Amino acid sequence: MARFIRSVRDARGLYAALVWLALGYLLVFSAFPLVYNIVISLQTVDLFSLASFDRPFVGLQNYRDVLSDPVAGTVLWNTIRFVVLSLVFQLAIGFGLALFFQQDFPGATYLRGLFLAGWIMPALVVGAVWSWILAGDFGVLNYVLRTLGITERNIFWLSDPDVSLYSVIIANIWLGIPFNMILLSVGLAAIPRDIYEAAELDGAGAWQRFFTITLPLMRAPLGAVVSLGTIFTLQQFDLFAALTQGGPSNASNVAQYWSWQLSFQTYQISYGSVVSVLMIVFVVAVAAVYTRSTRHEQSY
């Protein structure tokens, strides 16, 4: 005990203890479900053997079954589009707005704060509201587009297989903008003004300043936003449930929703777990590549 207390007194011990407190909590409450998913993905499981671990082990057979399903390809491609497009637009619009509100004008902070309202809305409510806005026959978005002369006919946002995925992406971008904007605003505010002033004296234009000062100094916040954004995007479930249910004909189905459908609608629980394990593998791979690339940058 005395050793423990002493170790807490020196910095490393304290830091380690504090980190372990949180990690321990997560291990207890999150790691178990993950391990459980992995185990299930290797077994034959049905609805009624969920509570025991004593089930037939089938190795990678489930993985082969899932990957050979013709739906798998569609879902993978949709998931990639969903994640990449959501991230790119959330980031671009969020960054743009952060830069815009960085300027000095009356009410800037106040108006910027109003954007956060979108983020704190319960996802269930957001889904319901967007399903009304995007409705094909009586949706207000179609009305606005037609009045402005942008489209001639109603677009069936949720039931046209060529469009439905983009509808969910639009709603998801809407949800993600505030988070991106605020986090990036934090980063922008941390950049000392005098660097810009010095650059301006050296004759650097606005674009030059953006690319030589803002972007490099924003690397850390951008990294945080991208990694958290990836997680939020992959976690996005409620919008699919509220808007398209992955349809029509899987045109807007993504991994997280497909996994849920397999487990909870057709009760092929092993297959559902396979998809969720593959999702984790995918994210870990992307994240590993990302961390490697940032290490590389820092080393010179």
Partner 1 sequence: MRLKTCIHAVAGLLASTAIVSAQEVSLDLWTIDDPGEYHYVLAEEFMEKHPNIQINVRTVQFEDMVNDLARAVATGTGPDITYIDNPEVALFASRGLLMDLKPYIEKSEIVNEEDIYPGPLASVTWEGGIYGLPRGANTIALYYNADMYREAGLDPDNPPKTWDELYEAAKALTKPEENIYGIAFSAVATEEGTFQFLPWLQMTGGDYDNVATEGGARALNFWKRLLDERLASPDTLIRGQWDSTGTFNAGSAAMSISGPWELPRMSEEADFDYRAALLPVPEEGAERASALGEGDNVILASTDNPDEAFMFVEFLYEQMPRVWNEFGYLPASEVEVKDPQNPEIYAVFEESMKYARNRGPHPEWPRISQAIQQAIQTTLTGQAEAEDALATAQQKIDGVLGK
Partner 2 sequence: MKRYILLALAALFVAIYLFPLYWMYVTALKSGSEIFRFPPTFWPATLHFNVADVWTRLRMDRFLTNSLIIAAGTTVIIMAVGTGCAYALARVRSIWMDVAMFTTLMMQVLPSSLMITPIFVSFNHVGLLDYPRLAVVLAQAAKLLPLYIVLCRTAFMQVPRELEEAGLVDGNSRLGAFLQIAIPLARNGILVTAVLVFLLSFGEYVYSRSLIGERALQPATVGLQSFMGPNTSDWSGVMTYSAIYVTPILFIFVLLQRRIVSGLTAGALK
Q: Site residues for partner 1, window 144-163 (CB under 8 A)? A: 156, 158-161
What is d(CA 262, CA 257) in angstroms, rounded to the nearest whole number? 9
3 state SS of 1: coil
135-174 CB burial, b ≥16 within 10 A, e <16? beeebebbeebeeeeeeeebbbbbeeeebbbebbbbbbbb
Of residues 142, 297, 111, 126, the one with CA closest to residue 219 = 297
Site string for partner 2, 206-245 (x = CB under 8 A): ---------------x--x--xx--x--xxxxx-------
**76 binds partner 2, rule: CB under 8 A:** no
To the nearest whole angstrom, how small is the minimum distance from the Cβ of residue 160 to partner 1?
Answer: 6
**36 binds partner 2, rule: CB under 8 A:** yes
Site string for partner 2, 162-201 (x = CB under 8 A): ------------x--x----xx-xx--xx-----------
Tokens of 76: 């993978």
3 state SS of 284: helix
Map tokens 């899987």 to a residue. Answer: 250
Please name the amino acid found at residue 224. Answer: A
Q: Which does residue 246 touch among partner 1, partner 2, none (CB within 5 to 8 A, set by kind)?
A: partner 1
Q: Which residues 79-138 are close enough to bind partner 2 by CB under 8 A?
A: 97, 100-101, 103-126, 128-130, 132-133, 137-138
**48 binds partner 2, rule: CB under 8 A:** no
To the nearest whole angstrom, how small is the minimum distance from the Cβ of residue 65 to partner 2?
Answer: 18
Q: Which does residue 76 touch among partner 2, partner 1, none (CB within 5 to 8 A, set by kind)?
A: none
249 CB contacts (<8 Å, ≥6 apart)?
161
